[in-house]
Amino acid sequence: MGYNKSLDFLNMIKNGESALQNSVFHKTEKFAKTEQSDKAESLSKTVQGSELQDVQDRVSTHAKQVNHKVSTNLAISKGIKPAQETIRSSAAYFAVIDTETNWHDEVMSLGVAIADKTTFKCLETRYYIFEQEARVGGMYSGVLYKCTNSTASANRNGAALGTAQTTTVATSPITAPRATAMADLSDYLSSKGISSIYAYNAKFDCGHLPELKNYNWYDIMRIAAYKQFNKSIPDTAPCCKTGRLKSNYGVESITRMLTGNSRYYEVHNAVADAVDELRIVELLGLPLTAYDIARINS
């Protein structure tokens, strides 16, 4: 019987497919094992940071809900009928936040001052001490529980009345793990319909509070340090061409300029300082729309 080259060709094809299938199988099996290993490692890392991530997700959801409500009410004001009939009125409040950090540059305390958008008056305060981070200690650990501040009172027009007053705020701090405290803060801001956060040198506070990244952050310093906005800056003060003070534009220096009280000092307690930073907003006497150029996130 003659030699059939066609049979060799068919066998080669058959054997080749089998070898290819085996190769694919082994590669797939190896990939699956690697993928399982990677997933296990990733899951381990996720579990370690799950508590913080849960808070970040929770705060993010609250912020988006608040921003949605504000947008909806803006639509109502323009005569656009909302899809739902039961919607809360637009938020009449904003928050001023200050933080203090420990020796590891971690937030160990957080103060919040809630203010009326029209009068800028402080209506409520909230003060958190993060348990673990506070144990590390920091430069201002000695005043963690000193929830009072002494500053010059002022009228709505920003003119100092000339007498110092002691304001007692948040005498009962909430001491809790960071995740618990941030979840509580999220609920608190949401209950007030607040979507805007103001801070002095806001980039620092915002950068140390990633859980609040979805709120609208505004930097008070970007207004207070400029002559065109802060009329209390002396003509003799050295300024850049942009109008910004070249130096001495911290909370203490600006408050002294605005109040005329040279004896004013920051307490460096987060909630007391938050109240003082709110007072700067009040003393400047500018509408909140002026701070649109001082927004640090989009």
Model confidence pLDDT, tens digit, residues 224-268: 999 999 999 999 999 999 999 999 999 999 999 999 999 999 999
Q: Distance between CA atoms of 70 and 90, rounded to whole angstroms? A: 5
Q: Answer for the pair 117, 288: CB distance below 8 angstroms, yes or no.
A: yes
The answer to whether residue 39 is domain-embedded is no
Which of the two residues, 153 and 63, has the higher pLDDT score? 63
- In degrees, rounded to 5, the angle at the alpha carbon of residue 84 between the alpha carbons of residues 79 and 88 is 80
Give the CATH number for residue 246.
Answer: 3.30.420.10
Q: Answer for the pair 238, 264: CB distance below 8 angstroms, yes or no.
A: no
Q: Distance between CA atoms of 163 and 69, rounded to whole angstroms? A: 41
Domain count, the chain: 1
The answer to whether residue 279 is domain-embedded is yes
The answer to whether residue 32 is domain-embedded is no
**Parent domain of 156:** 50-294
16, pLDDT greater than 60: no
Q: Distance between CA atoms of 177 and 88, rounded to whole angstroms? A: 32
With tokens 């082994």, the residue in question is: 26
287, pLDDT greater than 80: yes
Please state, rounded to an integer, the average pLDDT across all residues of the chain: 76
Query: Which helix H or strand E contains 167, and what residues bound it?
Result: strand 160-168
Query: Which helix H or strand E contains 154, and what residues bound it?
Result: strand 148-154
283, pLDDT greater than 50: yes
The answer to whether residue 4 is domain-embedded is no
